[in-house]
Structure 1
């Protein structure tokens, strides 16, 4: 990578970092380690360079302490106090975080309307720290100061800086500058662009002020329609509806605009629950514009689905396929029909619907799901040859290890049912090597144990096993890079460490996130460090999310493939005392309790879902009240945020489900989707075993929930067995 030019102060810092990096390379025996062998004797250790960087100081530097005080004052709107706390530019010239000091000095001066001083601060930041992540923000601040001080010519000159980009802010500033220089027509055009293209931005509200009188009647109809379209894409349905009602009161300038207005109004009516009104508007859209008409047909179809008008729903799909056979919107309509029959537990019609979907869109966005479902239907019908061929198609299209492992497992089952136990054994073994302790790895282990020891003589016709084995053998888990960071990356990391030491964790995380984008060769390290900060904040969900960027397939890796520090972040153990106590009382495995908590709340004590479930094990207040009454526990909704109370009630509930259903798969599905649904699925889908049941769960959320909790349980079993230290 070509090195960027740096001013003298930063060169000095880089030299210091280069010396530090050289020392790390000499002393670190694990520098450049690539993990992934899975051999316990070759288990990777976290490099000493990573360990050192992950230790965040508890005592901030003088500059960092002053910065924290200044930011606190700024956020408290005490701008004079902020300036008093923040050192002047020359005083912090050698500091790693001098750009932050300059930035907040500039912002404070701007709020005090001290424009000259604000501009000087922002300019100094850009000059001294051209590689800072704050450069664009400083340029925006400078634009604001120039605008408020009515200096449009300098503002127009500054807008030529490529680092400003062409978004809402830059466009708005250009509009204001042109307006102030008398170029009203050009300014109006840019105001309209901000208003229509960036409706959720703060600049759009400002631009709207300068369009007063321009947005009435039929004026600028297309721009206003574009704004409504963008609002729909952003999910602001009420805002879009208000605007569309105004546009419906006047004549559209052309048929295309009229059709788009009717289409958008139909969509917002549907999204807001006015399904019948939506149909009326959608049916006004004609075939004059094929793209709009295809979208209208899709929306009409899902309206009919919601209204329960099945025959009309199917007729709409047929019409869409006839008129627009390659449209992505019609693919979505076909998928909606398939999931409709899935959710309503009608396997025969679901199979036909998935066949229609796959036949018409073999390379579409839902083709993988359709292929998987068709393979499962073949398997359930005991057509193992057809099922194996479809699963092989899926494997070929999805060669990443975890997706491939799921297909290998089911191909193995097809071979086992056909009597070819030798091939089945190989496929189960390869599944375990790729999926390990994850859901499919566990299934493969159980299947291999139960295989008959006698070699079977059956075959699966249509499958060349040598070619299949070669394809399976070629799929390997990728290695994780634990190499020593570059000198440039270390500069970013040291800045983040200094910010974190002062309690500015939000800025520290933003710095590391930016560093991972700028220096992608060290992105795994940046992800690990962000996860480390999240752990220190008890944000275990954030830690998992960040570390998953480095190891997206961690679920399928063996324990020996990653450092212990990674596993402890992926599978945190908290509230051990109450968990172990409740496990003993209820007979639940501690690993299962931990697995449920990890999936439900990621150990966030005050978690609250959109469905109003609360706390670590996500208990609804109504359920919690009933459980507390039975347990003789005093209950208030607020107590669901108490870890001990929540776990006590949650484990009682989970234990009761496990006793009721007898199988963890059924109990977990009931925990997530409710017992009524599970009873219906058992009765109407009639799975032959739990693996089939899980695959047949109609709701993707519940299906994935069961798989992930069982994967969590297996990982926690290993973690608890290997560590004597628990919280």
Structure 2
């Protein structure tokens, strides 16, 4: 499909068209089709709908060809699609009404309603955090139905199909959303088991049952437990009640899990009193278990159902006080308020609902609390306004919960209302942080300006320094320099050093190199013991190197590695000092510096570059500080915490096992051999991202040594190849090296198919939905949101997009920069480059994230080829 759509996209690009032009043109053609329907020229209308579909199809090809893939483009495309659907179906209603053909008009109206509701139900479900993609009558199917009916003269039968299936799809989505909301209410504990979601209670010491050696579970007993779990998941609680109600289960290493599931099974079997007693027993016997808070919530719910509201209230208050950070607290507060209302304790209920609004403003329970407060106010109950400190806490929690717009609005109101400078500064800090998260850097800078004006003198320079950074990010560099001058004049030593370094970077961007050099030299001279001096010397060396003074650059970079804070800069500084030395004294003289890089970190990005420049092989690395067994399982064979998690896995409670394993990992910090073994467990369960999280935190130095004594299992865990067949097939279809794609996936998502970035990119290759939709259209795929979470589909879309970048740039380093930062940015950087040396170009990429991204993926690519490809 792309073989003929891509050339068309490039041809349209050469005509200086933009994707949005085609999108709007498609609406125009849809209006013509509507006019044709009104005039009774149905076959003409069908042909025009085909043309409108082609416009909708090729706007994606044009976007890919021109690199104009934007979130607004995807938004506009979706809105225009809705307009097109409505005008066409409305025209068909008019057609039948004019005949007159009452039945046809009614069916067309039903189709119009169904089409609107299919889109509306999905949008509303997503607004409350539920992905709702069920049903068969999406827009492509509706258009095919209309086109076929118009061209074949069977418009009324086609409308019957469209109306029935579209409304069935809408009803199906309503039912799906209702089930999702109901199941999330946790009135049945089994939802946690079946959905695989259990949020941890507060971190605590290991349960006491781990302190003792766990008794061995006979295979027959273990088999019976596994069968009981399987039956329970299928809806039969009986076997589980018998299995987990036994003394063997209730005294086993997983006694808390046995009680948790037993309580749920008893509740499902109708024995609510026994279920409540078991749930309370869990909290009594295992207070440090991650299941204690959920068990208390269950007990309170069951007590309330039984009419024992006083007991339910006592249990809920115990949960809230004992486990204040538990995920169950918002629901507990809501239930406590509802019980208070039912018991005519309406003032107390108001207080609880207000507390819920402050403590959990980003949850669905807060929405419920707000509705109940409105109902109580309408009933004449006094509902006091939140205190300003409560509002401030609420705004902070909105910000941390990702609801930046609401956080900024609330904090801005607080800042305007209060006369307390401390509260005002705190509120304006929230406004600045929220605005920054939304990409509104100018608004963030103005908020910090107001905060600095009301802040104590000792905090003012720090706020102004942050304000300058934001002005720079907003492209207001001259304003940033003005603010930095004030920090230089009045700030403390550390703030002045930071300001001078930032001033140098800003002057560089304004192409005022001489002034930038002066700023960097001042930092290095005044504050050599501060980390910022290292950054200043690094950037100073680059200014010298790019103006052709390699000798000065070499001296600057060698000076950098001698500074107290220069350790993090050693590898890049040594390598580029070597490159500078090579220019002035030749390769043989530079090899000493390259070998220092290889001696410290042979398996690193700079070790890779240095190895390519030395003429003889590097010496073998010294023995690693730790010895890892060839089989990771050997490292944890006698660990009681792992034995508990592994037992959960073996009887079918895999998600519980993985959550339990998190506690085992936390207790193993400082013991690298155990951590290595636990990483192997994650890999075995295809939770590669969890293994990588452990390995990245604890094994960087070990991996950089590259010692031959490190077992192959270590390298395969550090560089996993999850979904290998799907990855290879997608790579080959796109004409890419599978190991190159594997490196991209490792950096993008750590092989977590459910990964979601703060910006909304999703899946293994971290695609934005708008970008993915356009790529899907160009590949001939019908895009649905859930494709992004499917490994095979995400890999197919991601490799298509990456292959486009490779076709444009040829060199993988440039293609990676375009993939990460966007094609337009990359074109701008390339046009304004000061060197054709691609290694140097990578070092000068302005965005830190993209610069690190390119280096990491290039190194990972080499490691994948070394480990799996024999390179």
Do the two structures share a fold, i.e. TM-score over 0.5? yes
The alpha-carbon deviation at position 376 of structure 1 amounts to 3.4
1:384 aligns with 2:553: yes
CA contact (8 A) 2:624 2:702 kept: no
Which of the residues 373, 392, 416 maps onto 1:225? 392
CA contact (8 A) 1:625 1:636 kept: no
Which one has the largest radius of gyration?
A: 2
Matched with 1:39 is none
CA contact (8 A) 2:553 2:580 kept: yes
Matched with 2:262 is 105
3-state SS of 2:693 partner:
helix
The alpha-carbon deviation at position 716 of structure 1 amounts to 2.1
| Residues 521 and 276 of structure 1: CA distance in aligned 2, closer, same or farther (over 3 Å) | closer
CA contact (8 A) 2:432 2:444 kept: yes
| Residues 341 and 531 of structure 1: CA distance in aligned 2, closer, same or farther (over 3 Å) | farther
Which runs of structure 2 are paired with 1:199-210 in the superposition (5 Å)? Answer: 199-200=361-362
The alpha-carbon deviation at position 316 of structure 1 amounts to 1.4
Which runs of structure 2 are paired with 1:332-481 in the superposition (5 Å)? Answer: 369-380=535-546, 381-382=549-550, 383-393=552-562, 396-397=564-565, 399=567, 404-417=570-583, 419=585, 424-449=590-615, 478-479=625-626
Rounded to whole Å, the distance in 2 between the matches of 1:363 and 1:204 is 49
Which of the residues 561, 568, 571 maps onto 2:716? 568
Matched with 2:223 is 61
Matched with 1:240 is 407
CA contact (8 A) 1:345 1:684 kept: no
Matched with 1:314 is 481
Rounded to whole Å, the distance in 1 between the matches of 2:688 and 2:207 is 39
Which of the residues 646, 650, 658 maps onto 1:497? 646
Which of the residues 267, 270, 278 maps onto 1:121? 278
CA contact (8 A) 2:225 2:240 kept: no
CA contact (8 A) 2:541 2:554 kept: no
The alpha-carbon deviation at position 392 of structure 1 amounts to 1.0
Rounded to whole Å, the distance in 2 between the matches of 1:82 and 1:246 is 58
Which of the residues 804, 807, 831 maps onto 1:653? 804
3-state SS of 1:448 partner:
coil
CA RMSD in angstroms, aligned pairs only = 5.6
Rounded to whole Å, the distance in 2 between the matches of 1:81 and 1:236 is 44
CA contact (8 A) 1:143 1:158 kept: no
The alpha-carbon deviation at position 587 of structure 1 amounts to 8.0
The alpha-carbon deviation at position 512 of structure 1 amounts to 1.0
3-state SS of 1:447 partner:
coil
The alpha-carbon deviation at position 446 of structure 1 amounts to 1.9
| Residues 658 and 717 of structure 1: CA distance in aligned 2, closer, same or farther (over 3 Å) | farther
The alpha-carbon deviation at position 444 of structure 1 amounts to 0.8
Further displaced range: 694-703 or 109-118: 109-118
Which of the residues 654, 662, 675 maps onto 1:513? 662
Rounded to whole Å, the distance in 2 between the matches of 1:151 and 1:587 is 66
Q: Deviations over 1:443-486 (max 9, x none)?
A: 111222399xxxxxxxxxxxxxxxxxxxx999996436559979
CA contact (8 A) 2:333 2:356 kept: no
The alpha-carbon deviation at position 253 of structure 1 amounts to 5.5
| Residues 308 and 420 of structure 1: CA distance in aligned 2, closer, same or farther (over 3 Å) | closer
CA contact (8 A) 1:602 1:616 kept: no
| Residues 433 and 602 of structure 1: CA distance in aligned 2, closer, same or farther (over 3 Å) | same
The gaps in structure 2 that reach 5 residues or longer are: 1-204
Q: Deviations over 1:573-632 (max 9, x none)?
A: 467678778988998655434433443455567878747687659598769968997xxx
TM-score (norm. length: structure 1): 0.68
The alpha-carbon deviation at position 510 of structure 1 amounts to 1.0
The alpha-carbon deviation at position 150 of structure 1 amounts to 1.4
Q: Deviations over 1:294-350 (max 9, x none)?
A: 56535654564465433222111222343443687x888777666656677776666
Rounded to whole Å, the distance in 1 between the matches of 2:538 and 2:345 is 60
| Residues 298 and 233 of structure 1: CA distance in aligned 2, closer, same or farther (over 3 Å) | farther
3-state SS of 1:14 partner:
coil
| Residues 666 and 134 of structure 1: CA distance in aligned 2, closer, same or farther (over 3 Å) | same
Which of the residues 209, 214, 228 maps onto 1:14? 214
3-state SS of 2:615 partner:
helix
3-state SS of 1:595 partner:
helix
The alpha-carbon deviation at position 224 of structure 1 amounts to 1.9
Rounded to whole Å, the distance in 2 between the matches of 1:531 and 1:591 is 21
Q: Deviations over 1:531-574 (max 9, x none)?
A: 5444544x444443344344234652426242212222333346
TM-score (norm. length: structure 2): 0.58
Rounded to whole Å, the distance in 2 between the matches of 1:72 and 1:326 is 67
Which runs of structure 2 are paired with 1:278-289 in the superposition (5 Å)? Answer: 283-285=449-451, 286-287=453-454, 289=456
Rounded to whole Å, the distance in 1 between the matches of 2:420 and 2:576 is 55
Q: Deviations over 1:249-268 (max 9, x none)?
A: 7x436344345445544654
CA contact (8 A) 2:429 2:448 kept: yes
Q: Deviations over 1:383-412 (max 9, x none)?
A: 135423443146x53547xx6433432343
The gaps in structure 1 that reach 5 residues or longer are: 21-56, 452-471
| Residues 224 and 602 of structure 1: CA distance in aligned 2, closer, same or farther (over 3 Å) | closer
The alpha-carbon deviation at position 120 of structure 1 amounts to 2.9
CA contact (8 A) 1:378 1:386 kept: no
| Residues 634 and 308 of structure 1: CA distance in aligned 2, closer, same or farther (over 3 Å) | closer
3-state SS of 2:639 partner:
helix
CA contact (8 A) 2:727 2:738 kept: yes
CA contact (8 A) 1:391 1:411 kept: no
Rounded to whole Å, the distance in 1 between the matches of 2:772 and 2:348 is 61
The alpha-carbon deviation at position 678 of structure 1 amounts to 3.9
The alpha-carbon deviation at position 506 of structure 1 amounts to 1.9
Further displaced range: 562-571 or 614-623: 614-623
The alpha-carbon deviation at position 507 of structure 1 amounts to 1.3
